[in-house]
Amino acid sequence: MNHPILSPDTQAILLLCASFGQNRLSQPQPLTLTEYNLLAVWLQENQMRPGDLLSSNIKNKLQDIAIEKLDIQRIQALLERGVMLSLAVEKWTTQGLWILGRGDSQYPKRLKQRLKHKAPAILYGIGNIELLSAGGLAIVGSRDVTEQEIDYTQTIAKTCAEEGIQVISGGARGVDQISMLGILEAGGTAVGVLADSLIKTSVNGKYRNSIAEGRLTLISPYDPNAGFNTGNAMGRNKYIYALADYGLIVSSGYQTGGTWAGATEALSKIKDIPVFVRMQDTIPEGNQELVKQGAQPFPIIPASSSLKGLLRTVLEAVNSEVEAIDQLTLKDMNQTTFSQPKLEEKTQGSEHQVTDTIPTVFPMSPKDIYEAVLPFILAHLHQPLDTKSIAERLEVRQGQMQDWLNRAVAEGKVKKTKKPVAYVINQQLTQLSLLPEME
């Protein structure tokens, strides 16, 4: 691919923030993101851009800077690293890398909109830049995984590939790497947000062909040659979620590890990204605790539904309209309108594309609502629960939930136990529905 010449803004940000492969303790020390943001505010207040710092008369203006915690001599010394910048950029582009500054037009808008000043000042990457704007499902989890978790991750990744849902992950050993390799092997696309070793990973035989085919993009906010650092691994978690439409935690420890830290950060600070957890098979304690903190059980996919459909419409029907559903009777629902995205199919040449159009408004029947809510009911019933408990978890009226449970029992999807009365998923029927159809 052709690599555009770096804009003056990106050159300036690199001079200020990049280590160029040196130890972070080398002098002058590059600006941290917090420090760069302080300078960026000053530039904005003075109607300047980062590229203006490269002008010949900037030294005079810099003398007027009065920013707490920023040393002017340090900024000047960083801006004088032109030779180092030229050598590093030549090396990076020769290796196929590209660099995006926060002011570049191709910089992912999702990062800036969701993270604001916490969006990285610089992104290093290799592969198809357009994938950074495609959204998708973030799939993350522990490094040490069981056979159940491997199978589950591969199944979800394959489903994503089949339905045109991109996977976003961290590329680390375990769930992250399994999800990325799974969707690539199934012909889908992926974005890997790495905490270290971008250049080394980009030439790995596991990924090289997918990068060349434009189906994999690897990015990192850290130096392309940086080694593993726990702080960097923790810091990049928010970028994984911010680039996605939804997040799925396959396995997490409780109050320990990067998966837990990233999930709790996403739940508390990135409000517009629904976070799901796996609640099937053997469930880790961390997964159970994340549900208590606001994560949703990932839905079981009935044979008649699609993952894309569940993620797009179930959330709207369950979360956005839950208050309205709670106050209405089944009779009222026939006359109530709900917003739902409309998909418009377009055929261009041999490609078959599905694109979003402006949401339309249409009446939603009780049958539609039941089918939309059912996967979430099933996700909660891997252990017996009474009607009151499941109604509280989904925040709907107990009477409404009883109607849905009665129907699920009649269809054989849920079993009713006695002494005490409770409901639990019919595991045998569910497993049969997940088997591939015979040709």
In a domain, 387, yes or no: yes
pLDDT of residue 346: 42
Q: Tell me: do 142 and 223 sit in the same domain.
A: yes
- In this structure, the answer to whether residues 205 and 334 fall within a common structural domain is no
Q: What pLDDT, on a 0 to 100 scale, did the predictor assign at position 432?
A: 43
Picking from 384, 439, 435, the residue whose alpha carbon sits closest to that of residue 409 is 384
Q: Which domain holds residue 164?
A: 128-297
- Least confident segment among 122-136, 287-301, 371-385: 371-385
How far from 146 is each of 151, 177, 382, 393, CA to CA, in Å? 9, 14, 19, 28
Q: Tokens in use for 16?
A: 């200020």
Q: How confident is the model at residue 330 (pLDDT cuts 50, 70, 90)?
A: very low
At position 250, the amino acid (one-letter code) is V
With respect to residue 31, please indicate whether it lies within any of the assigned structural domains: yes
Determine, yes or no, domain membership for 343.
yes
Nearest to 169 by CA among 116, 226, 120, 131: 131
- Judged against a pLDDT cut of 80, whether residue 422 lies above it is answered with yes
pLDDT computed for residue 373 by the predictor = 80
Residues 290 and 338 in one domain: no
Task: Indicate whether 291 and 338 sit together in one domain.
Answer: no
Do the beta carbons of residue 199 and residue 95 sit within 8 Å?
Answer: yes
What is the rounded distance in angstroms from the CA atom of residue 177 to the CA atom of residue 193?
11
Question: Is there a single domain that holds both residue 156 and residue 285?
Answer: yes
CATH number at residue 214: 3.40.50.450
CATH number, domain containing residue 365: 1.10.10.10
Judge if 287 and 342 occupy the same domain.
no
pLDDT tens sequence across 109-160: 999 999 999 999 999 999 999 999 999 999 999 999 999 999 999 999 999 9
Residues 18 and 144 in one domain: no
Higher pLDDT, 15 or 408: 15
Do residue 323 and residue 415 come from a single domain? yes
> What average pLDDT does the structure give for the chain?
83
The mean per-residue pLDDT over the stretch 253-263 comes to: 94
Q: Are residues 156 and 238 in the same domain?
A: yes
Task: Give the model's confidence band at 428: pLDDT under 50 very low, under 70 low, under 90 confident, else very high.
Answer: low
Q: Residues in the chain, how many?
A: 439
Residues 30 and 164 in one domain: no
Structural domain count, the chain: 3
Q: Is there a single domain that holds both residue 190 and residue 142?
A: yes
Tokens 């136990």 correspond to what residue? 417
Evaluate whether residue 105 is within a structural domain.
no
Amino acid at 42: W
Res. 356: pLDDT tops 50:
no
Does any domain span residue 114?
Answer: no
User: Is 195 a member of any domain?
Assistant: yes
Q: Please state the pTM of the whole predicted model.
A: 0.75
pLDDT of 367: 55
**242 and 176 belong to one structural domain:** yes
In this structure, is residue 123 part of a structural domain? no
From the list 225, 247, 228, 230, the residue with the least C-alpha distance to 238 is 247
